[in-house]
């Protein structure tokens, strides 16, 4: 349903091809999207994207993804450069917040990763800060890992979904199935005496590979997974988004020669999800949580 807003801005459901346009805009901004991001993001929630247009021209858009109504995420927010500075982004952001709230169960929270300079604006919109997520960049290298590190595809899917759900605010079985099987990616898990103790994914991007998620029972498991994922990209740029809520994650990245290149403010509208922060060494994406 088309919903006109004040002035000449119209916000409406996004068309699939328009998400490809936004991904290209994001690449031009240096966001370095994954090669399969658009396809997987859309499949996760086809109703979770809105487009903004002026006089029939696409000028911006963003995600309003709902995970079974239990948790929402506002990511992938962009306005075309020629249309910035006119207040369109502010109006689009408010529309997205309200539209996502309407898609969620009563009391469900919304998460987002926002640029630091916009943190006050997001706070006025009801979001409370919950630390920062720091992007680290390094270089992949050949590595040998223990026999406990296996292909995540060899782990029973139900077990992987359950482990992921313990480290993310809501179940996301469909997303996870596509995420670990995307072309060119490596997905690894740590299994000790039949117990799943961590998993991670390195996905190919316009530049190098991004690791996310990286969940692990302790820093030793996280390090083995990081080495195994880096082995998939020898000599290529490797990125890891570490939450400062887990100091061991930041330290792990630094010990492996990764440097800080970008920081986002993690914020929530509603209650902050109760997650095992010390087992989260890398968030999945800035776009979908």
Is the residue at 139 inside a domain?
yes
DSSP, res 234 = B
Do 162 and 275 share a domain, yes or no?
yes
Do 122 and 138 share a domain, yes or no?
no
Do 117 and 169 share a domain, yes or no?
no
* pLDDT at position 48: 97
Tokens 């993690």 belong to 266
Helices (H), the chain: 16-28, 37-44, 88-103, 119-124, 157-165, 173-180, 219-230, 247-255
Do 80 and 148 share a domain, yes or no?
no
Do 146 and 254 share a domain, yes or no?
yes
Is the residue at 287 inside a domain?
no
Is the residue at 172 inside a domain?
yes
Three-class DSSP category at 182: coil
Q: What is the largest CA-CA distance in the chain?
A: 62
Do 139 and 276 share a domain, yes or no?
yes
- Find the CATH number of the domain harbouring 80: 3.40.630.30
244 neighbors 134 (Cβ within 8 angstroms): yes
* pLDDT at position 1: 39
Do 159 and 277 share a domain, yes or no?
yes
| Cα–Cα–Cα angle for 186, 280, 22, rounded to 5 degrees | 60
Is the residue at 288 inside a domain?
no
d(CA 10, CA 284): 31
Do 176 and 157 share a domain, yes or no?
yes
Three-class DSSP category at 210: strand
Domain that residue 9 falls in: 3-130
Final residue before a domain boundary, out of 112, 130, 148: 130
Final residue before a domain boundary, out of 130, 163, 189: 130
Final residue before a domain boundary, out of 106, 130, 154: 130
* pLDDT at position 235: 98
Please give the tally of structural domains in the chain. Answer: 2
Do 70 and 139 share a domain, yes or no?
no
66 neighbors 45 (Cβ within 8 angstroms): yes
177 neighbors 36 (Cβ within 8 angstroms): no
Preceding omega of 213 cis (within 30 degrees of 0): yes
pLDDT tens, the chain, 289 aa long: 334 444 588 999 999 999 999 999 999 999 999 999 999 999 999 999 999 999 899 999 999 999 999 999 998 899 998 888 888 889 999 999 999 999 999 999 999 999 999 999 999 999 999 999 999 999 999 999 889 999 999 999 999 999 999 999 999 999 999 999 999 999 999 999 999 999 999 999 999 999 999 999 999 999 999 999 999 999 999 999 999 999 999 999 999 999 999 999 999 999 999 999 999 999 999 999 9
Is the residue at 263 inside a domain?
yes
Is the residue at 10 inside a domain?
yes
Do 178 and 277 share a domain, yes or no?
yes
Do 156 and 273 share a domain, yes or no?
yes
What stretches of the chain adopt beta strand conformation (E)? Answer: 3-4, 9-13, 49-54, 57-63, 65-67, 71-73, 78-79, 109-115, 128-139, 149-151, 186-192, 195-204, 209-216, 237-243, 259-269, 280-282
* pLDDT at position 84: 87
Do 151 and 278 share a domain, yes or no?
yes
């Amino acid at each position: 349903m088309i919903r006109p807003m004040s002035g000449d801005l119209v916000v409406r459901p996004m068309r699939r091809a328009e998400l490809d346009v936004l991904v290209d805009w994001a690449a031009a901004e240096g966001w370095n999207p994954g090669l399969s991001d658009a396809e997987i993001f859309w499949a996760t929630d086809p109703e979770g994207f809105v487009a903004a247009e002026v006089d029939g021209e696409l000028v911006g858009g963003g995600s309003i993804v709902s995970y079974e109504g239990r948790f929402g995420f506002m990511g992938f927010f962009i306005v075309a450069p020629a249309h910035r500075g006119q207040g369109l982004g502010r109006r689009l952001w408010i529309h997205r917040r309200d539209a996502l709230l309407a898609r969620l169960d009563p009391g469900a929270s919304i998460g987002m990763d926002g640029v630091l300079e916009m943190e006050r604006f997001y706070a006025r919109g009801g979001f409370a800060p919950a630390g920062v997520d720091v992007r680290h960049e390094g270089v992949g290298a050949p590595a040998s890992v223990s026999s406990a590190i296996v292909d995540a595809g060899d782990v029973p899917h139900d077990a992987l979904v359950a482990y992921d759900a313990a480290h993310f605010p809501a179940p996301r079985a469909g997303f996870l199935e596509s995420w670990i099987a995307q072309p060119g990616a490596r997905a690894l898990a740590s299994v000790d005496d039949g117990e799943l103790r961590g998993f991670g994914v390195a996905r190919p991007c316009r530049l190098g590979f991004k690791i996310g998620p990286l969940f692990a029972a302790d820093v030793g498991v996280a390090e083995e997974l990081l080495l195994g994922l880096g082995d998939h990209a020898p000599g290529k740029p490797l990125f890891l988004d570490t939450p400062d809520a887990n100091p061991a994650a930041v330290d792990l990245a630094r010990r492996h020669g990764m440097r800080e290149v970008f920081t986002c403010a993690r914020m929530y509208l509603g209650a902050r999800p109760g997650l095992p922060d010390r087992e989260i060494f890398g968030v999945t994406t800035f776009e979908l949580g």
